[in-house]
Amino acid sequence: MKKRSFFAVGTTLMLTLALVSCGSEEAKDKVEDVAESTTKHIEVAEDFVEETKPAEIVEEVVEEVAALSGADLFMENGCVACHQMDAKTVGPAIKEIGAAYADNADGLTSFLKGESDAIVDVAMAAVMAPQVETTKAMSDEERAALVDYFLNN
Ligand code: HEC
């Protein structure tokens, strides 16, 4: 009786060991597979970064967006010398211009292109006229950014 149970325990132990080692062999394969595919993924990602240079793209986009900020364009082109946000100085306030052109973005765009006459302070139009040369020379996107700046302030 004792001998038999010893035998049974031994067999069970051997079977278990066989299973475990077999299982760990499988697990090892799996780990190797995962490692291999992860390495491949990393390689693909590295190639992608190498080819597309996302950091440079982000930098370019940031620069473009900055260039297209109406507020920055307004500063960079010296418009601030004569236009304040709320108060009339040499020229009408930005808000006054925005109110005059509310719902009329096309009208403001055409003024900035030099294609239509002043409507806000007609008597002072001669002072603004030379400035329109600056806005005429801008790209459509830059003018659109300026229009957005006037109408959304
Ligand atoms: C030397 C002062 C001066 C500068 C600089 C100046 N403006 Fe003006 N701006 C005026 C005056 C004065 C008026 C009022 C006359 C008028 O309404 O056109 C005016 C009016 C305007 C109007 C209203 C136009 C309308 O229909 O009456 C817009 C829009 C405008 N300016 C945009 C700009 C932008 C954009 C810049 C910068 C590129 C700029 N201004 C720079 C003096 C200036």
pLDDT on residue 63: 66
Residue 133 CB burial class (10 angstroms; 0-12, 13-18, ≥19): exposed
One digit per residue, the tens of pLDDT, for the chain of length 153 reads: 455 555 555 555 555 555 555 567 888 888 888 888 888 888 888 888 888 888 888 877 776 665 579 999 999 999 999 999 999 999 999 999 999 999 999 999 999 999 999 999 999 999 999 999 999 999 999 999 999 999 998
Question: Backbone dihedral region of 78: left (phi > 0), alpha (psi from -120 to 50 degrees) or beta?
Answer: left
Cα of 132 from ligand 1 centre, angstroms: 8
Pocket probe mutation, ligand 1, options 69, 82, 133, 135, max atoms within 8 Å of Cβ: 82
What one-character-per-residue DSSP string does the chain give? -HHHHHHHHHHHHHHHHHHHHHHHHHHHHHHHHHHHHHHHHHHHHHHHHHHH-HHHHHHHHHHHHHHT-HHHHHHHTTGGGT--SSS-SSS--HHHHHHHTTT-HHHHHHHHTT-S---S-GGGHHHHHHHHHHHHTS-HHHHHHHHHHHHT-
Max CA-CA distance within the chain?
A: 120
| pLDDT number for residue 65 | 66
Instruction: Give the pLDDT of residue 20.
Output: 57
Structure tokens at 132: 């329109």
Q: What is the pLDDT of residue 136?
A: 98
